Amino acid sequence: MLFLLPAAVLHSHMQITGDVAEIQDFDSFISMRFLQNASVDGEDFHLCGDCIEIILDSNRRPGEDAANLSAVREIHATINASFEQKSHSGKADRISIYPAKKILILDGNGEITDSEEGTVRGEKLIFDSANRQIIADGSAKKRSVISIDGDAAKKSSNRFHGPEKLNGHREK
């Protein structure tokens, strides 16, 4: 099963909408919280939820010029959270994106669907882009790791590391 990670999830230009936005400066980061019908739109990517919070790392030190140092540290979408991409879509109670680590976590009734390969469900799905892995974590006792090496997947040699008791099952 080939599951490409949501490519180009974050872009140099994102449009975020919502009924209410709270933008607040803290000492070490900036919080942008969008409430009610919140959505993030980028190129070939859409993320929505009832609440979306974007954490910008300000990287400021005392007396340091704060310009041009911010970066997106985290994005959290909660309550009816879902994302869509060209060939992938997913939903969960909470979707967290960590751009620097290249990790996307679907927490709580996670589900991700590849238009060609199928669907994976699990209580917690972790997309580890750096290691090309999806970790489906059903519970503390039943954990499985799915390798998403592209070549291997094309040969239909889906590799499940760990116990076969994959709580988050897959289906075509």
Partner 1 sequence: MVGRLKLACVLFFFSLYLANSALGKVDRLILLNTPISEFTLPVFEGNGNKVWEICGTSATMVGRDLFSLLDAKLHCFAGDFAGGNASSEFFCATSEAATVDSSTHRASGECGIRIVGRNFDATADSWEFLGDSKKIIAKNNVVVFLYENVGELAR
152 binds partner 1 (CB under 8 A): no
* Spatial separation of the C-alpha atoms in residues 59 and 5, rounded to whole Å: 28
* Amino acid making up residue 65: D
Region from 58-66, 105-113, 138-146, 154-162 binding partner 1, contact rule CB under 8 A: 58-66
Site for partner 1 in 116-145 (CB under 8 A): 127, 129
134-141 long-range CB contacts below 8 Å, 24 or more apart? 134/3, 136/110, 136/166, 136/167, 136/168, 137/167, 137/168, 138/165, 138/166, 138/167, 138/168, 139/167
Among 46, 51, 53, 68, binds partner 1 (CB under 8 A): 68
Among 50, 99, 142, 149, binds partner 1 (CB under 8 A): 99
Residues that bind partner 1 (CB under 8 A): 4-25, 30, 32, 34, 54, 56, 58, 60, 62-68, 70-72, 97, 99, 102-104, 127, 129
